Every structure is written in C-alpha cells, then in structure tokens.
Amino acid sequence: MRRLALLALAICPIAFADDPPPVEMGALARGFALPALGRTEVLPGGGLKLRLYLNDTNEYVARSNDAETILIDGEVTQLSYDLHYGITDHWEAGLFVPVLSQGGGILDSIIQGWHNFWGLPNGGREDVPKNAYHYQYTRNGQQLLNVDQGSVTFGDIRLGTGYQIADHLVARAMLQLPTGDASHLSGSGAFGGAAWLDGGLPLHGFFHWLTLYGSAGYSYTGSGDVLPELQKHGLPFGAAGLGVRFTPDWDAKLQVYIHAAPYKGSELGALDHVAAPLTLSTSYRISKLTSVSLGFQEKASVFASPDFGVFLGVSLN
C-alpha cells in the first residue's frame, strides 16, 4: 500500500527529464553527500524547473569472511521533487526533497529473470526467500548493524547551486541536511557537502546528434550513525555519459556513475569496493514545456552497487 500511495502522488504533478538520469545509491551509501551529475547548463535568470522522479531500486548481497558477515536485502521506492531556479543568467539554486518507502519490495523475481536472461550473476538471491527486508553487519562477533523493519520516511534534503563558468561547463556545490533517519537507513544523521564540475562536449558535423559529458568532484560527510566505526568522510566521485538525440523531441542517455568505497577497514566487497551503477534512460517531449522519461539502472560493480532499479520521470519548465 505504501508503494501504491507514492505512485498515486507521482502521477499528480507534471515533470520534464531533459537532464541525465537519476542514480540510486545502495542503502549503506544513501547518507553520503553524493549528488546527481551531468547537468552542463544552468537555467536563465528567472527560469524555473520542477522535476519529479519515482524510483524503485532493489539490492541483495550476502557475504562473509573469518571476521565479518554482511547481509543487504531490501528494496526502496523513492519519490523525489527536484526544483531549480535561475537567479541570474549564469547562476542557479536548487532544492531536492526525497521521500522513501523501504521494505521487501516486488522486484526479486523480475531481477532473477532479467539476470538469467542476460547470463548475469544473481549473487545468491535465488537461494533466499523473496521480498525480504534485512540489513545486518557483524564484525568480530559484534553486531554493528541490524535493520529489519520497513519504513516510510523523508530522506536527506539537499540544497544546491551552480555557476556557468563557460559554455557547457558548470561549477556546482551542494549541502546535504540530516533530515533522513539513520535507524531506517534513509540518511546517516550527519551533515554533508560536495563540490564538482559538470562538463559537456556536443559533437558537430555527421555526429551532431551525439553529446558526450563528464563530471568529477569531491564529497565530505560528517560522522554519522550508520557503521560509524568504518565510515569514510571524504569520497571522490565522477560520471561519464553519452547522449543520443533521435528527433528534436526524443533522446536517450547512457551514464556510468563512479564513487569511492564509503567504508574502510573491511574486506567485504559491499563495503570496500568502488561502486559503479550504470543507467540507461530515454525521454520524450510531449509538449513545449513538458517531457517524460523512463529508465533503468544495473550494477557495473558486483556487490558494491544496487542490483537493479527502474524509474519514471516527469518535469515542467
């Protein structure tokens, strides 16, 4: 019922998705200040854009060694409002507000079939009960994490700004507020911030329908309440993407997002591996001001990124 309620809310506003696709981090990385990447322009002065995304992301990892055991098994539906306003022709401000519904979910069987079809690893999820919700980590016999109750909560609200320093090049910064609940893994309970560059390279001539873009930056998150003994504070991150415009109203994007491992002192891939979620999306402009988008996310780094995600986006500007 929680997921149906979020879906009903998502249908009410209108949305527009001419930006690179959203990226959903795993629950243990959600509290870190890792922004969406790839917006290579700012809005003109007085411009306003409202975006709404509905994401559903599923993850499963079960691994152990002589000292550690980790179980990551859950699904999250996130409804997010993303507002941008052009303060001047070169400077904009933004607000991002997420609402998360976490639980066992509905995608387990679909993901197993998807992975089997493409010959991808299921990571052992075929051997455990479907649609379960449990996040647990034990180290040297001490249980450091144990969350097994679903929830509907706000995530961490983000305040952002961007300055156009050249054509197709924007410097950006973000402040992340600890509005999420660490006990439900919807945040870490700590303030965070990030600074980065978004740059694009539109191609010309025969390849005018292609655009390359890339981003790079650094994030800092204060001491939080999710595995604080292992948490890193500073994380480098980046992204690379390819945009393809089929018609003036229809395009598609492929993006890989990379961030450093958010934890230290562990030998388990879910905590100490670089994460690299891969996202493919398409968007279509249905009117002068309105577009819709659809996409999915797959892990490119086994055990360090969510297994699978789908999203629907709409926007008005």
142 residue type, one letter: Q
State the CATH number of the domain containing residue 225.
2.40.160.40
Q: What is the mean pLDDT of residues 166-172?
A: 96
Task: Please give the C-alpha separations between residue 191 and each of 126, 144, 178, 222, 271, in angstroms, as whole numbers.
Answer: 38, 21, 5, 6, 21
Q: Can you give the residue range of the structural domain that contains 306?
A: 2-316
Q: Is the pLDDT of residue 107 over 80?
A: no
Tens digit of pLDDT for each residue in 178-216? 999 999 999 999 999 999 999 999 898 888 899 999 999
Element (H, E) at 206: none
145 contacts 227 by C-beta, under 8 angstroms: yes
Query: Residue 126's pLDDT is what?
Result: 66
- The answer on pLDDT for 10 being more than 60 is no
Helices (H), the chain: 2-11, 108-118, 269-272
Total of domains in the chain: 1
Q: Percent of the chain, pLDDT > 70?
A: 87
- Indicate yes or no: pTM above 0.85: yes
Tens digit of each residue's pLDDT (9 = 90 or more) over 38-68? 999 999 999 999 999 999 988 888 999 999 9
Count other C-beta atoms under 10 Å from residue 180's C-beta: 25
